[in-house]
């Protein structure tokens, strides 16, 4: 269960929203395997074949590298795995990790002079 506290700020370079509170998103491609039970029936002198699908199983899941800000839908400068790499970092170290991300990727706060 999350603790009460202030969430660190990782600002979107496009709109300034904190993507750690406002969110970010990515796309994935997924292949599933499932079972389809087929059955036939006759109605009004026509043959019909129907099917029911169940037992969905993911056999392949590939996330794209790009991450986007949920607030403005703009591409973020950090790959998905880099942002997710913040997962589990002690709060005492998050500020330094975020500062490194911003400096490494040349992110600027919106409205800042170039």
> Per residue in 25-64, pLDDT tens?
999 999 999 999 999 999 999 999 999 999 999 999 999 9
Residue 104, pLDDT above cutoff 70: yes
pLDDT recorded at residue 4: 67
The pLDDT-based confidence of 113 (bands split at 50, 70, 90) is very low
Residue 111, pLDDT above cutoff 70: no
Contacts of 44 (CB under 8 A, 6+ apart): none
pLDDT recorded at residue 6: 84
Q: DSSP letter at 6?
A: P
Q: Provide the pairing of β-strand 28-43 with 46-63.
A: antiparallel
Burial of 83 (C-beta count, 10 Å sphere; 0-12/13-18/19+) = middle
């Amino acid at each position: 269960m999350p603790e009460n506290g202030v969430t660190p700020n990782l600002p979107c370079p496009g709109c300034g929203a904190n993507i750690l509170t406002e969110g970010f998103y990515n796309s994935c491609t997924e292949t599933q395997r499932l079972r389809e039970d087929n059955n036939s029936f006759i109605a009004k002198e026509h043959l019909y074949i129907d099917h029911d699908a169940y037992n969905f199983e993911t056999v392949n899941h590939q996330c794209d590298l790009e991450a986007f800000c949920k607030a403005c839908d703009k591409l973020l400068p950090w790959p998905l795995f880099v942002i997710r790499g913040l997962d589990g970092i002690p709060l005492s170290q998050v500020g330094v990790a975020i500062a490194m991300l911003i400096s490494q990727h040349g992110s600027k706060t919106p409205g800042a002079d170039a």
